[in-house]
Structure 1
Amino acid sequence: MASTMVDTYEPEKVHSKVLDAEAQDWDNDGNTYVINALVQDDHGHEIKLRTMSWQRAAWLLAGDQVCLAIMAQSWSLSVLGWVPGLITMVVAGVLFYITSITMHKFIIKHPQILNICDFGYYAFGKSKIAYEFTAVMLLLNNIMLIGFHILTGAKVLNTLSDHSMCTVIFSVIVTIMGIIMSLPRTLNHVSFMSMFSAACMGMAILLFLVFAGIEDSPLYGYGGSYPELGPVKTYAFPPEGTTWVAAMNAVLNITFLWVPQILFPTFISEMERPQDFPKALAVLTGISAFFFVVPPAIGFRYLGQYSTAPAFGSLGPIAYKKASFAFVIVPTLVIGVIYANVSAKLVYGRIMGKSRHAHSNTVLGWSVWVAVIAAIWFIGFIFAEVIPSMGDFLSLLGAAFDSFFGFIFFAVAYWQLYKGALFQGVSRSVMTVVHIFVMACGLFLLGPGLYAAVEAIIADYAESVKPAFSCANVAI
């Protein structure tokens, strides 16, 4: 175990063909040498990980980002109004692109980085504490998200079947399907699933927009059923009576959607040419800019104050709900698979170390991989069943974890990249100021954002809560 820990804490020493990346100040040629050595070393193994093209990486990114959370953004607009809501969306998108580019530059400087834990290790000065802290946050974040997707899958099956079985049984079905789909070891294989995932979510969104436009009126909102809240209307600013907690949770809902970077280092580490990641990122940014703004805006236009999260719940006719929500089952499973793969690789690497089983088709290697995948999905299943309000807990995750993985980590990485030359030239000075703002955003989410998320959970617990392992109908 001791040797494994050394490999974990000093990733540049994992591959004997790689020169000590800290021994010299790498220029582009030096970085290319290290990357080529890493790819060559990986391709000498029976199970090859570094095989993704940038096109495959783009599909993987799209499969992760084109998700059900898009359908919660109309609700965010209904809380914040057009002006604060759209400003938050645009600012979050711009910061997402800038911080992702910073992350990529830092990884190219340290090509031996395999995951966000390694990223934290180098960003915070080769700190073992930072590595372990990041590992705990990675596992908590990803497994909780797997639990959320198990619950979402159960909601889909409840909705389609008119609650034909106990919800726990539906959750078990989703968990078993997730385990089976998570068995492929490489993200290159998972990227195939991501193509269908993004397409299915796109179809669900398209059908929702059509149905929202042609129905006579929405069914209900959180404040009451139509027309109890009056005719459908939209507004530029938060309506009177909007609380700080509600507004902050709406902001967290938007930032949560724009902050997937916790997975990106693992994605980059499995690209055959990590240098091409910005191409995949550009594709993702274009897709996200459209899906994260246009459908929510149209949804808010037709649902107004009756918007729910997800917005499918506001549709009137049951047939409309079923026809659009049915397509969500595919992205629900595939996104869970992506989070499971990244989590399992961290745990599996700690268990197997540098042994031949780690990268060969051995009985022991595959047995451990299957056991780790099953354990991750099982823990996610437990979370899905025992936490009364997964939505509020995801706001808690967004405040506690996304503040680091979407903002603070990359502000620190930027400082590591350019310390001593932060204000060298106009463009560098501008980017330095931007990253100071990035740090401020991260600290804001970690402070007031975390407070708002906790207050929302306390409010939920003050009312009746869903009992653990409940058979209650959770259909939208």
Structure 2
Amino acid sequence: MNHQHDYVDASGEDSRELQYNKDIRSNHVVPDPFGNEENHQIKYKTLSWELVSVLMIAEIVSNGMLSLPSSLAVVGIVPGVILIVFLGIFATYTSYLLVQFKLRHPEVHSMGDAGYILFGPIGREVLASGTVIFAVFATGGQLLAGQIALAQLSDNKLCLMLYTGIFAVPTLICSFPRTLDRLSWLSIPSVLSILIAGIVGMIGAGIHPAPNKHIDVAKPSSFYAAFISITNPVFAYAGHFMFFILMSEMKKPQDAMKAAYTLQGFATTFYTIFAIVTYVYLGNDVTSPSFSSLKTKWAKAAYGIALPNFLIAGSLYAHTAAKLIFVRLFRSSSHLHSHTWTGWSTWFVLIFLMNAAAFVLAIGVPIFNYLIGIAASLFASWYTYGIAGAFWLHDTYHDGGGTRAWKRKWGQSLLAAATFTAGVFICIAGTYVTIKGIVDAYKSDAVGKPFSC
């Protein structure tokens, strides 16, 4: 396994690789973000692949799945199911590329570190900033899911902003642990809650199907409507931006693909079954989130059971945003591994800021749901799909003899290039349809006021 790029190919080592090796030697880049932890007070590398599987499922299989039945209502059941399954397989392939890249570059802790290897200092800042932005927006999305659930459970007796605030408090508290292994144990009931909630939702739809429901095998629609519906399953798999951070806290990173296979197998199977069953019983009028289309008592039951998942997923996102900055600040410092006042105070401030930013955005920006879509298009499309192809092309080029290696492995090269191209398409098309949705919402006066009930 090549941990560094200390080689020279036929064309000579390019300037970025030379600079990267200089940074390694001058300790600007540490080969392992957490180093040897034997005598440290705070140990990070404690996760088993089983616990990483739970963390991945808790983070990815969440409120995003509740939009999948409505996607089938737009494009039809056959194209919708094919898309869900294809994206699950595609996400498994990109997971493999990410895992291999991390194993070859153990110094990578986040997408920012990976961006430095690919594109230099600018790449580090862009990908690190994108990770933090997307994680904060994703936290806000979970706060809104909690808001909807609490409002449903209490028959909308309070101002929606208050529900968001109520849900934000436990989300903040649960994101405070410094290491992911503490959050992994909280993620076990989180996974059970979304699994049981989905089953309850399907049972509720089956017992009380929509009257006069209509189901389409395939349904023609405009590019705008179709791609809006396509973004639902695309971003339902959008959790890869956490992979490097999760792997950095594994006891045996070599087992990461076991966790990825578990995640993608569970997610693809559950997404497919949930989308089909819910759509078949509720038809084309199913809403997003789909639990809101159920009879009141079943909607309350499903939302109530799903609450722990929304809570822990939000905590994981906020934790990820804070962890990236924290490791960046204190890498190779005693504050990372010791119980110092500086370390703990900085950690508390970062966690508070990430949660506070998510809360303010969720209640203060009327078009926040659209902004989540833009953030997902700009960043998640790359982290989950496109940039994985760039990782493979980069490593193959530098380790295998330049373009000759690409030609020798032409099949894999074409697949990696196609993966990168897919990221470009999802990014551009997703951003376009989301911006168009914002414009249409303002034209139809469907946008509310900030900080309103």
TM-score, normalisation: structure 1: 0.85
Letter in 2 for 1:50: K
Structure 1 residue aligned with 2:385 = 407
Instruction: Indicate conservation of the 8 Å contact 1:253/1:395, yes or no.
Output: no
Q: Does 1:234 align with 2:212?
A: no
Structure 1 residue aligned with 2:133 = 140
Q: CA deviation at 1:328?
A: 1.8
Q: What do residues 411-435 of structure 1 show as CA deviations (whole Å, max 9, x unaligned)?
A: 11110121231243xxx43322222
Instruction: Indicate conservation of the 8 Å contact 1:249/1:395, yes or no.
Output: no
Structure 1 residue aligned with 2:432 = 451
Residues 37 and 347 of structure 1, relative CA distance in 2, 3 Å threshold: closer
Q: Does 1:246 align with 2:230?
A: no
* Residues matched between the structures, number: 425
Residue number among 385, 403, 422 corresponding to 2:406 in the alignment: 422
Q: CA deviation at 1:24?
A: 5.0
Structure 2 residue aligned with 1:377 = 355
Q: What do residues 82-125 of structure 1 show as CA deviations (whole Å, max 9, x unaligned)?
A: 2321222122111111111111111111111111111121133x
Structure 2 Cα separation of the partners of residues 36 and 385 of structure 1: 41
Structure 2 residue aligned with 1:224 = none
Structure 2 residue aligned with 1:72 = 67
Residue number among 107, 114, 137 corresponding to 1:119 in the alignment: 114
Letter in 2 for 1:95: F
Structure 1 Cα separation of the partners of residues 429 and 173 of structure 2: 40
Within 5 Å, which residues of 2 pair with 1:29-428? 41-124=36-119, 127-215=120-208, 217-218=209-210, 231-239=212-220, 242-315=221-294, 317-419=295-397, 420=402, 421-424=405-408, 428=409
SS of the counterpart of 1:43? Answer: coil
Q: What do residues 189-228 of structure 1 show as CA deviations (whole Å, max 9, x unaligned)?
A: 111111110100011100000010011x43xxxxxxxx6x
Structure 2 Cα separation of the partners of residues 423 and 23 of structure 1: 23
Structure 2 Cα separation of the partners of residues 355 and 439 of structure 1: 36
Letter in 1 for 2:104: K
TM-score, normalisation: structure 2: 0.89
Structure 1 Cα separation of the partners of residues 270 and 43 of structure 2: 33
Structure 2 Cα separation of the partners of residues 466 and 171 of structure 1: 16
Instruction: Indicate conservation of the 8 Å contact 2:147/2:164, yes or no.
Output: yes
Q: CA deviation at 1:40?
A: 5.9
RMSD of equivalent CA atoms: 2.1
SS of the counterpart of 1:313? Answer: helix
Letter in 2 for 1:238: K
Q: CA deviation at 1:294?
A: 1.0
- Greater shift in the superposed pair: 261-270 or 352-361: 352-361
Structure 2 Cα separation of the partners of residues 436 and 350 of structure 1: 30
Letter in 2 for 1:468: P
Structure 2 Cα separation of the partners of residues 464 and 416 of structure 1: 45
Q: What do residues 59-93 of structure 1 show as CA deviations (whole Å, max 9, x unaligned)?
A: 11111122111111000111111232122212211
- Runs in 1 of length 4+ with deviation above 4 angstroms? 35-40
Instruction: Indicate conservation of the 8 Å contact 1:123/1:409, yes or no.
Output: no
Residues 171 and 183 of structure 1, relative CA distance in 2, 3 Å threshold: same
Q: CA deviation at 1:258?
A: 1.6
Where do 5+ consecutive residues of structure 1 fail to align? 1-18, 26-34, 219-226, 472-476
Q: CA deviation at 1:141?
A: 0.6
Instruction: Indicate conservation of the 8 Å contact 1:100/1:261, yes or no.
Output: yes
Instruction: Indicate conservation of the 8 Å contact 2:32/2:108, yes or no.
Output: no
Instruction: Indicate conservation of the 8 Å contact 1:50/1:270, yes or no.
Output: yes
Structure 1 Cα separation of the partners of residues 323 and 136 of structure 2: 13
Instruction: Indicate conservation of the 8 Å contact 1:149/1:333, yes or no.
Output: yes
Residues 166 and 37 of structure 1, relative CA distance in 2, 3 Å threshold: closer
Structure 2 Cα separation of the partners of residues 91 and 255 of structure 1: 10
Task: Give aligned-pair identity as a percent.
Answer: 27
Structure 2 residue aligned with 1:465 = 447
SS of the counterpart of 1:401? Answer: helix
Structure 2 Cα separation of the partners of residues 464 and 82 of structure 1: 29
SS of the counterpart of 1:292? Answer: helix
Q: CA deviation at 1:360?
A: 0.9
Q: CA deviation at 1:20?
A: 7.9
Instruction: Indicate conservation of the 8 Å contact 1:182/1:337, yes or no.
Output: yes
Letter in 1 for 2:302: S
Q: CA deviation at 1:321?
A: 0.9
Structure 2 Cα separation of the partners of residues 402 and 357 of structure 1: 31
Structure 1 Cα separation of the partners of residues 202 and 3 of structure 2: 54
Residues 332 and 422 of structure 1, relative CA distance in 2, 3 Å threshold: same
Where do 5+ consecutive residues of structure 2 fail to align? 9-29
SS of the counterpart of 1:468? Answer: coil
Letter in 1 for 2:305: F
Structure 1 residue aligned with 2:4 = 21
SS of the counterpart of 1:41? Answer: coil
Structure 2 residue aligned with 1:16 = none
Structure 2 Cα separation of the partners of residues 200 and 119 of structure 1: 34
Structure 2 Cα separation of the partners of residues 202 and 20 of structure 1: 39
Structure 2 residue aligned with 1:12 = none
Structure 2 Cα separation of the partners of residues 365 and 40 of structure 1: 17
